[in-house]
Amino acid sequence: MEAGSKSVDEFLRHAITYALYEIRDTDSLPEKNQIADQVRRMILVDEGAPSLQVMPDIGMVEVLDPDPQKTAIQTKRLKEITAILPQGDAKRGRKLFHNVAKSLCLTCHVMKEQGVKYGPDLTGIGSIRSEQDLLESILYPSSSIARYYERVLVKTKEGESGGLILRDTQNQMVLSNSPGVEIIVPIKEIKSAKYSNVSLMPEVFDNLFKPQEIADLVVYLTTEKLSTDLDPDDNKKSDQEVIPPHIPVDLPGLHAYAQKSIAAGDEIEFRVSSSVPYTMSIVELGKNPENRDEDPVLKTFRVEKPQSQPIHPGSYVHIAKGLPTNRRLSQLTMECWIRPFNLNGWQGLITQHDYPKRSGVGLFLQNGRIEFLTGSGGEFDPASIHQTPPGLIKAHQWHHVVGTWDGKSKRIYIDGKIVAEFPFIGVVRPGQTPLRIGAYGSEGLASNFYNGDVAMGVLYGRALDGEGIKGRYTDRGLTIPKNKNLLACWSFSEERGEIVTDSVSGVHEGRIINRGTWMIGGPSFDAAKIDRHDNKYDPVKDADRGHGLRLAEDELYNARWKVNHKFQLPEETKSGVYAGRFDFDLKGKSKRYHATFIVRRAESKPKAPLLVLVSSSTWLAYNSTPFPTTHGPGLIQMGTGGLGNSHPSAPRYSCYSDHFNGQPTYKIGMKVPWPAAGPNRTYIGGGYSHLLRGERFLRLWLDKHGYEYDVITDRDLDSNPELLNGYKAVCINGHSEYW
């Protein structure tokens, strides 16, 4: 039984498993052996063990040629109602929808907290269905039946039953042909099963409602949008202030940030994470560049009971509505393209899995191998995960990865070729956890983030055959598959924003957590063929460019910390450079930390003759370690790599430093600390002042010679170029990366 070792050829293991299955001598099989456990499971299925009744394949309904006369009548009616949709009233439609006695909508559907959970949940329906789709589904429900809400026709020796699959148990399929009704069908008695092309929703509403009422109802449903706010307290947040549960990184020491720029008269807010007591003073950087103790103090806070606030780095795609967990799968294919930057560790590719209690399905990259999980949705079982031999996945190269399960065997394909095959018979069910692309769950938290590029993720309810997979590989991720068994598809064609659309139904829409990086091209794109100075190349017009999304385990652009201190700046506050100065002791040594910010002229005050533009983009460009180890109150050298990092999992990247795993940096966060903007930074052996410290001497000279001036940041000017109007001159010193 040493063949159970992962070092043995996968095809040999497959052959040995089937040989032992044919011998059927379970008494001689050892305990706690992967091959032996699989053989026992296969024999138990043959013997009709209730815990392992195999779910029958549900065939697709036979597609009949449409009746031309019926189609013409329906098309005419749809055009008639479409013509009056502009007169539809959402308020009237809402009232009609919630009138259960008349519309019947809430007797089968849920809208937010109201209704009966039987048909599709209509919460947010306006975000995933067009006006025309909604109209057609009301008048002619069978024209487009929502996935997972198809009527299933089941034949047994007792006859035929039909309804939605509510759920399945160890040995039963539970159907329902109307709300509150359950039809229990023993799985072992099912002779055949197929989907029906007739919806359970009756085709009666054209007679039940007046045309204007139908228009009102459609318009109302289009206003019901999905919320992207994940705040459990239902507070409106933006800029990803709230994210799904995510593995935290707890930081030692003290770290802080405030608004990077604020107008005099407004309220400055400081967000602080500290493991030690501290004194915070809001100061204006004073006349002596060598002594921060002389800086004028506006306000002082003393904190004896500090609060540590974690960070949550790591980008991935969160898909709140995963595959249904109330029914097991009879077959499955998981497909995606990957270009990894690092092969080490466990990295989720496409998963609906939370280790260890909600073990579902997934593709993973693990130390250079592809792993394919077909769990039961419950406790993790090592026998449900299988892997390829090592050495097949290369860093910085695109690979087409596919895992299939046909109910009896699992196969893993890489770049169109089968590389591993395993016998597997058992209950396969998605875990009760979100779908994720680029991560998987661990005890309820998103974790084990993928480092690399991903393209064209697809889920199918059937096992693709070798020819089909070869065709998908040849396509190079350019085409959304046309397959009646599609469950979900993410083509990543958006190229901007935080939403990743499900091209199949819209139900499995994803949200990018911690942003990721767009516009990198897909597996079909050969960047070497494009000259870097070719100004005629238009990526939008390049049909072979494809689409992809880059992810990284250390991405973070918003620390999402709560506000600890607030201070109302007087309107008379002079425009210039200020800071929150934190003094504290750490391990018996005095430490000092500056959270720098710019104070702009109050809107109510007249402009000075001169405007000084600080190179805040340069300060951000050098901000390689937003969460560094703290240092003493004196000068400190800082190069392009930043200061020492306070935690090995804290972000460490900038415009001059790649991500942990080599992904180039294309953007920098504004809602994280920027210690690179501290007033005591020097460069190259401490030989000269750097960044903010280097720029201070211009303002000190202007002060010495009596010049009046206002100060703004690069971001201020970028947001409002008209700020320049009214100034006699603008002073710029720095290389604002690089303009």
**DSSP state letter for 407:** S
Looking at residue 230, what is its pLDDT?
43
- Phi then psi for residue 284, to 5 deg, are -95, 135
Dist. CA 244–CA 231, nearest whole Å: 9
Residue 637 C-alpha from the chain's centroid: 37
Q: Which two tokens stand for residue 314?
A: 């790591």
What one-character DSSP code corresponds to residue 249?
Answer: B
Its CATH architecture, for the domain 254-311+559-732, is Sandwich (2.60)
Question: Residue 233 above 50 pLDDT?
Answer: no
Instruction: Kindly indicate the confidence band of residue 725, based on its pLDDT and cuts at 50, 70 and 90.
Output: very high
At a CB cut-off of 8 Å and minimum separation 6, what does 332 contact? 361, 374, 403, 404, 405, 428, 459, 460, 461, 462, 463
Q: Which two tokens stand for residue 100?
A: 């259960």
Percentage of the chain exceeding pLDDT 90: 82
Helix axes 90-97, 211-223, angle to 10 degrees: 100
Pairing of strands 610-613, 709-712: parallel
pLDDT at 51 over 70: no
Query: Which of these, 520, 475, 455, lies nearest to 666 by C-alpha position?
Result: 520
Taking residues 116-136, report their average pLDDT: 93
Q: Which has the minimum average pLDDT: 4-8, 31-35, 194-198?
A: 4-8
Q: How confident is the model at residue 55 (pLDDT cuts 50, 70, 90)?
A: confident
Q: What is the pLDDT of residues 656-683, one digit of tens each?
A: 999 999 999 999 999 999 999 999 999 8
Q: What is the mean pLDDT of residues 12-41?
A: 81
Which of 44-48, 377-381, 488-492, 558-562 is the least confident region? 44-48
Per domain, the residue ranges of the chain are 2-47, 52-226, 254-311+559-732, 316-551
* pLDDT band at residue 248 using 50, 70 and 90 as cut-offs: very high
* Mean pLDDT within 295-324: 98
Question: Using 50, 70 and 90 to split pLDDT, how confident is the model at 305?
Answer: very high
Residue 561: how many CB atoms within 10 A of its CB?
A: 20
Q: Is the pLDDT of residue 61 over 80?
A: no
Using pLDDT thresholds of 50, 70 and 90, give the confidence band for residue 17: confident
Would you say residue 62 has pLDDT above 90?
A: no
Q: What is the arithmetic mean of pLDDT over 175-199?
A: 94
Q: Work out the pLDDT band at 142, boundaries 50, 70, 90.
A: very high
Task: Report how far apart, in Å, the C-alpha atoms of 428 and of each of 66, 252, 268, 634 are.
Answer: 36, 43, 53, 61
**pLDDT tens digits for range 20-33:** 877 877 777 888 78
Which pLDDT band holds residue 2 (cuts at 50, 70, 90)?
low
User: Which pLDDT score, from 0 to 100, does residue 34 have?
Assistant: 84
End-to-end CA distance of the chain: 66
What integer pLDDT is reported at residue 235 of this predicted model?
41
pLDDT band with cut points at 50, 70 and 90 for residue 64: confident
Arithmetic mean of pLDDT, 429-452: 98
Q: Can you tell me the mean pLDDT for 92-111?
A: 95
122 has a pLDDT exceeding 90: yes
Mean pLDDT throughout 289-304?
Answer: 96
- Higher confidence at residue 48 or residue 88? 88
Q: Exposed, middle or buried, 298 (CB in 10 Å: 0-12/13-18/19+)?
A: middle
- The beta strand positions in 438-545, using DSSP E, are 440-442, 445-447, 452-460, 486-490, 499-500, 510-513
For residue 9, give the nearest of 393, 422, 413, 384 by alpha carbon: 422
Q: Name the pLDDT band for 45 (thresholds 50, 70, 90).
A: low
Residue 5: per-residue pLDDT: 57
Burial string for 300-336 (b: 16+ CB within 10 Å, else e) reads: ebebeebeebebbbbbbbbbebbbbbebbbbbbbbbb
Q: In the numeric block, which tokens belong to residue 456?
A: 């064209």
Question: What band does 237 get if pLDDT is binned at 50, 70 and 90?
Answer: very low
Nearest CA to 693 out of 606, 634, 607, 641 is that of: 634
- Decide: 317 and 490 in contact? Cβ < 8 Å: yes
pLDDT in tens, 213-222: 999 999 999 9
157: burial class by Cβ within 10 Å (0-12, 13-18, 19+)?
Answer: exposed
The answer to pTM > 0.75 is: yes
In CATH terms, 316-551 corresponds, of 2.60.120.200, 2.60.120.10, 1.20.120.160, 3.20.20.70, to 2.60.120.200
For residues 501-515, give the mean pLDDT: 95
- Is pLDDT of 473 > 70? yes
Determine the pLDDT at residue 650: 97
Q: What is the CA radius of gyration of the chain?
A: 31
pLDDT band for position 607 (cuts 50, 70, 90): very high
Position 236 pLDDT exceeds 50: no
Mean pLDDT of the chain: 93
Q: Which pLDDT value is given to residue 709?
A: 98
- Provide the CATH topology of domain 52-226: SH3 type barrels. (2.30.30)
User: Tell me, what's the pLDDT at 733?
Assistant: 81
* 254-311+559-732 and 316-551: identical CATH topology: no
